[in-house]
Amino acid sequence: MIRSLPTGRFYRFGYTAYVSLFYLFLFSPLVITCILAFNDSNFPGLPWEGFTLDWFFADEEHRTGIFHDDRNLNATWISLQTAVAVAFLSLIIGTMAAFLFEQEQFRFKQALFFLALTPLVIPGVILGISLLLASNSAGLFFENNLGIDFEILRPSFGLVVLGQMSFISTFVMLVVSARLKKFDTSLEDAALNLGATRPQVIRYITIPYLKPALIGAGSVAFLMSFENFNTTLFLVGSDTTLPISLYLQVRDGSTPLINAISFVLIISTSVLALVNLLVSQKKID
Amino acid sequence: MAGRLTLYIFLAPVLLWLFLLIVLPHIDLFFISLQAENDMGDMVWSLSNYEAFFTEKIYWLTFLRTAVYAILTTILTFLITFPIAFYITKVVSLRVSGFFTILLLVPFWVSELVRIYGWMILLRESGVFNHYLMQLGLIDKPIEMLYNDISMIMGLVYTSMLFMVVPLISSLEGLDDGLIEAAYDLGASKIVIIWKIVIPYIMPGITSGSIVVFMLTLGNYLTPNLMGGKNSLWFTEQIYNQFIASFNWNQGAAFGFLLLILSTLIIWIGLKVTRQNLSRALS
């Protein structure tokens, strides 16, 4: 049953078989996507027609590799910009929220904390449409009453950043809070007793202690933003992000070009995931 | 005095975030859902958006179907991932347990779209499975394995497994092996041990995993759309249609508000039944 207890051979065999099947189930779609990125066929499927790198480097009329495909390169660039902006803003807001709820005392703290958790239980589609409606209402209000037209209130890059930030900040808050809970506050007290100001304590004592959590939360925030679909779908303007652009292509029939993009995404996120996991493992040791 | 100042420095951005991006937009969503165009083409207060929901069979049927399938997906996700979480934390030798965990987590960092695309390549009529089945002579002509309820549920389970398995692993890690050993020595069977000791102990993990999986499934658009096809009838697609295709934002707002009520209600019932609270379940 568990390591220290004896089990029957049949039971152990069955359990191992189940676990193997599970991992097969987990990896088969990813592995097949990667393999077919190198198939010399105009259709992403079998039979195998031979190895090619066309879907990465070709620049012909009916075969464009990803490094010459302006549409997806452009979408990737926009997604990267969005992800950097969202990770940066969510880190600031989320960390401030963590400090607020872990270290400060004020009225209605519990209620506000509850409110800060709600973005996690609101479906992303609803966050998207409610922000779309509200920004549209606000835009109309400003235009009718003040005669000013705010670009950010229309579906645009800025609105996507705000929409994604609204729930990614909560993730950052939870990750940073978890580490802040384990923090020995006597370190802060000692620094304060020795004459440090509160900002100095935060700058030189607390932030260095939080660094692993900040790096971890930042990379998760980056990835969540880069891959977000549900919220972005309603807020995006003419500059489509990569997930939206890929969705439109997959829906309308696909070419191995999608496999090549997927291959790059799988490899780069796996590397990022491994680095992040190793960094956080180190933190625990 | 300085203490008050730091409080306000932390409080101001948090209040801005929560009120401008969460509270106000949802109030606006509610108000807009209560407005509709009258015969003259003017916007007036009206319940007609909600009326349409209850009178058009396709709307409430899709709503009900989405709710039932989201609950089903949550239960299936738990049943599939629990043995895996147990295996990693309690069965496999400690040396390889870390490796198994990393192997489990990495695929979930990859975008949902890429994972779903992989399943499409495997399952579709011209897909990899059909290619091999034909080569083995098991079938004469390709079968369409995509675009049905089973493939859709499978896709939903696949995309949400991570959010169940991580809380399960972390609560199982806290379970003292001695408890299981003691029960075993006293003659309890495997089923009794799981049911009477393991499950009650990891209930907080099960609750938080279920809340997140349920919410993500209910609000999912990609997977039902790409793996369920035209038959998917997922409620988020109705919302999308109202916003993007029909451009009827008031009707879409009403649908959005109803989905919000549904998800809040089911999560609240789940918390009550398992005697948990939201703050504990999520953090």
Q: Reply yes or no on whether the pLDDT at B27 is more than 60.
A: yes
Residue B257 lies in a domain: yes
Q: Reply yes or no on whether the pLDDT at A11 is more than 70.
A: yes
In angstroms, the CA A131 to CA B237 distance is: 18
Per-residue pLDDT reduced to its tens digit, B52-89? 888 888 888 999 999 999 999 999 999 999 999 999 98
The total of structural domains in chain B comes to 1
Least CA distance to A225: which residue of chain B?
Answer: B111
Where in the sequence is the domain holding B42, given as residue range(s)?
A: 34-282
Domains of chain A, residue spans = 71-253
CB atoms within 10 A of CB A79: 23
β-partners of residue A64 are A59
Per-residue pLDDT reduced to its tens digit, A185-217? 888 888 888 888 878 888 888 888 888 888 888
Residue B28 lies in a domain: no
Q: Is some CB atom of chain A closer than 8 A to the CB atom of B279?
A: yes
Q: What is the pLDDT of residue B214?
A: 92
The interface residues of chain B toward chain A in range 160-179, judged by CB-CB distance below 8 A, are: 161, 177
Q: Reply yes or no on whether the pLDDT at A66 is more than 80.
A: no
Q: Reply yes or no on whether the pLDDT at A173 is more than 70.
A: yes
User: What does the mean pLDDT of chain B come to?
Assistant: 87
- pLDDT band (50, 70, 90) for residue A280: low
CATH of the domain at B137: 1.10.3720.10
Nearest-CA distance B245 → chain A (Å): 12
Q: Reply yes or no on whether the pLDDT at A100 is more than 80.
A: yes
From the list A126, A162, A265, the residue facing B219 with the nearest CB is A126
User: What are B189's two structure tokens?
Assistant: 């069977």
Q: Reply yes or no on whether the pLDDT at A285 is more than 50.
A: no
Residue B18 lies in a domain: no
Please identify, in words, the CATH class of the domain defined by A71-253. Answer: mainly alpha
Q: What is the pLDDT of residue A92?
A: 93
Q: Looking at this protein, which amino acid is placed at residue B172? A: L
Helix A9-36 / helix B149-173 crossing angle, nearest 10 deg:
120
3-state secondary structure (DSSP) of residue B158: helix
Residue B26 lies in a domain: no
- pLDDT band (50, 70, 90) for residue B2: low
Residue B11 lies in a domain: no
Hey, are the CB atoms on A114 and B279 less than 8 Å from each other? Answer: yes
Q: How many CB pairs under 8 A join A and B?
A: 254
Per-residue pLDDT reduced to its tens digit, A77-87? 999 999 999 99
Q: Long-range contacts: B231-235, Cβ < 8 Å, 24+?
A: B231/B147, B231/B148, B231/B149, B232/B147, B232/B152, B233/B58, B233/B61, B233/B62, B233/B65, B233/B66, B234/B62, B234/B66, B235/B62, B235/B63, B235/B65, B235/B66, B235/B259
Q: Reply yes or no on whether the pLDDT at B204 is more than 50.
A: yes
Within 8 A of B15 by CB-CB distance, chain A residues are 112
Residue B120 lies in a domain: yes
The verdict on whether omega for the bond into residue A47 sits within 30 degrees of 0, i.e. cis, is yes
Within 8 A of B6 by CB-CB distance, chain A residues are 104, 198-199
Residue B97 lies in a domain: yes
Hey, are the CB atoms on B122 and A247 less than 8 Å from each other? Answer: no
Per-residue pLDDT reduced to its tens digit, A146-160? 877 777 777 888 899
Q: Reply yes or no on whether the pLDDT at B255 is more than 70.
A: yes
Rounded percentage of chain B residues whose pLDDT exceeds 70: 98
